[in-house]
């Protein structure tokens, strides 16, 4: 079941992936993917390229993928080792979700879009780093300055490769080797 679902998602990605996200299997392993997200322009992560590691369990989609940032990032919902607190990746995971037109399946693209949204709109109630959350709540300017500095320092490597990667529609990590 998982292989069939992952093959379908990989096929669908070619049609539905926004230009600021890329993803695909590493070394043709459908259970291990890499993703890249370009920092949203309306966030302190603007201009950054963030790499993520995605591991799908053997019983996917009945259990969520494990998604973590490889690129260091200063964010209240992402901890020092890249773990992300996003409801949909924990207790709230379900292989389907309800939208106004009825039930629909959750695909990795929706997860990546939610992570992009989290970069623009952190959720202090779901904090993984109390110090960053405190700064976010009490001194937004300093939080944003620190996030911009971390983005400049850690998320600007290989920008030319990322642009070519997105432009060519490639979904394999091989273009970064």
Catalytic residues: 116
**Sign of torsion over alpha carbons 95, 55, 13, 73:** positive
Which helix (DSSP H) or strand (DSSP E) does residue 137 occupy?
A: helix 130-138
Max CA distance (Å), the chain: 48
In angstroms, the CA 140 to CA 165 distance is 33
Lookup: tokens for 58: 């053997």
E-assigned strand segments in the chain: 21-26, 29-38, 49-55, 66-69, 96-99, 102-105
């Amino acid at each position: 079941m998982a292989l069939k679902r992952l093959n379908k998602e990989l096929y669908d990605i070619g049609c539905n992936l926004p230009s600021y996200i890329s993803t695909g299997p590493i070394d043709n392993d459908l259970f291990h993917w890499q993703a890249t997200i370009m920092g949203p322009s309306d966030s302190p992560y603007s201009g950054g390229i963030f790499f993520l590691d995605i591991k799908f369990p053997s019983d996917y989609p009945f259990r969520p993928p494990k998604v973590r940032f490889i690129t260091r990032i200063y964010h209240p919902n992402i901890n020092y080792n890249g773990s992300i607190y996003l409801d949909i990746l924990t207790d709230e995971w379900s292989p389907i979700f309800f939208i106004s037109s009825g039930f629909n399946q959750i695909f990795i693209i929706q997860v990546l879009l939610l992570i992009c949204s989290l970069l623009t709109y952190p959720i202090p109630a779901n904090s993984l780093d109390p110090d960053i959350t405190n700064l976010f709540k009490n001194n937004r300017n300093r939080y944003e300055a620190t996030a911009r500095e971390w983005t400049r320092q850690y998320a600007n490597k290989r920008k030319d490769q990322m642009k070519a990667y997105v432009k060519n529609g490639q979904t394999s990590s091989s273009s970064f080797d």
